[in-house]
Amino acid sequence: MLVVMAKYKTQSKFAEAVDTAPAYLSQLKKGVHPSGKPVSIGDDLARKIEERLGLEFGWMDRSHTELFPDSVVQ
């Protein structure tokens, strides 16, 4: 998810583009809900991001480290 967020100036702009709450994206980036439960991107959100950003089906299911070879972004 961080790869697709990188082209947006703010997390709020990305959240708006994919029609998802910024707070939920924060939880996903941290990998944990405020309750302490682990959080991860589900299929529904992955498909929604792909659709909203014009990415091919399944794009979110693959690693894209080649887009940022000098970073740890995945």
Q: What is the DSSP code string of 19-47? A: T--HHHHHHHHHTB-TTS-B----HHHHH
Tokens of 62: 């693959």
**pLDDT bucket at 7, cuts 50 / 70 / 90:** confident
* Average of per-residue pLDDT across 29-48: 92
Distance CA(33)–CA(61), nearest Å, equals 22
Write down the pTM of the prediction: 0.78
Inter-CA distances, 37 with 25, 40, 57, 60, Å: 15, 10, 28, 22
Tokens of 28: 């996903």
**pLDDT bucket at 73, cuts 50 / 70 / 90:** very low
In terms of pLDDT, which residue wins out, 3 or 38?
38
Does residue 69 surpass a pLDDT of 90?
A: no
